[in-house]
Amino acid sequence: MNETTSEDEYMLLDSGGGRVLEKLGTLVSSRANHAAWWRRKLSGNEWRKAVELKREMKEPLKLRIGTLRFLLSPQGGVRGLAPELLEQWNKVSAQCVAFAEKERRPARVLNLFGSAGGFTLAAAQAGAAVAHVDASADAIKRARDHAALNTLANRDIRWVVDDPVKFAQRERTQTTRYDLIVIDPYTPKDAKRGGFELERDVGALLGTVSGLLSDKPIGVLLCCRQGAASPTTLQHLMRQEFSVFGGSVGSGEILLSGAEGVPAVPSGVFASWRKAA
């Protein structure tokens, strides 16, 4: 593996013309993005520096996104690492730290559709105990590799290969309860991994996880990086299921942000329910 250096970081360099230009450690690459309609900031010469990852990368590359490190593979590309979730990872980390300081115990976090593990790593870095659930054994292995890369292999992380919806349903019959629940369903091409369809299934899943909350919950975060859901739609769903617990509901866009002056790229929507402190 390539050794991690100060240069092995992710950065959005430019966006526009239906593509994004990204710094991936020592490499520069571009990929299609249908949301980037605007004109590019950088010159054509800068964009022509982009390389084809499958041709240039002979082995996985260590890549840092914020404080987290991942293995970028030529086949998976940066899309599977979800750099657009960096702001949400940071929020989860801060919430877990604040909870531990207040309650004098680690937060218990459930990460459904765990994928590459960004939310799991962020929570574990903050000292939380995490249950990471994904229907794909390959995805679980990849997330475990990322945990090891972040020296988190010995933390309290429960790795579960299971359909996230069925796991949540069975978990309601158990005694384990969670302070923070994160739901980040797959993109359309991965939908078969859990058989999950956003419009059909997300409402019922929120109803299920409402029964998995501890008596001192932090909240629930729902990220949707697929389909045409709006922040208002998700906010209505969250309020429908969690207003009985008090607290507040918020929503907004998930944005892929980069260097100063680079237009942030819309990459989905989120909604959150937060129990009042």
Q: Is the pLDDT of residue 190 over 70?
A: no
Query: What is the model's pLDDT at position 7?
Result: 66
Query: What is the model's pLDDT at position 256?
Result: 97
124-170 per-position pLDDT tens digit: 999 999 999 999 999 999 999 999 999 999 999 999 999 999 999 99
pTM exceeds 0.85, yes or no: yes
Percent of the chain past pLDDT 90, that is, above it, reads 83
Q: Is the pLDDT of residue 1 over 50?
A: no
Q: Is the pLDDT of residue 209 over 50?
A: yes
Percent of the chain past pLDDT 70, that is, above it, reads 94
**Long-range pairs for 99-107: beta carbons < 8 A, 24 or more residues apart:** 99/179, 99/180, 99/218, 100/126, 100/127, 100/128, 102/277, 103/216, 106/156, 107/179, 107/180, 107/218
Domains of the chain: 10-80 (2.60.40), 84-274 (3.40.50.150)
Q: How confident is the model at residue 229 (pLDDT cuts 50, 70, 90)?
A: confident
- pLDDT (mean) for 195-223: 95
Q: How confident is the model at residue 193 (pLDDT cuts 50, 70, 90)?
A: low
Query: What is the model's pLDDT at position 153?
Result: 95
Q: Is the pLDDT of residue 4 over 50?
A: no
Q: Is the pLDDT of residue 224 over 60?
A: yes
- pLDDT (mean) for 75-79: 83
Q: How confident is the model at residue 2 (pLDDT cuts 50, 70, 90)?
A: very low
251-262 per-position pLDDT tens digit: 999 999 998 899
Q: Is the pLDDT of residue 237 over 90?
A: yes
Query: What is the model's pLDDT at position 187?
Result: 57
- pLDDT (mean) for 226-250: 93
Query: What is the model's pLDDT at position 133?
Result: 98
Mean pLDDT, all residues of the chain: 92
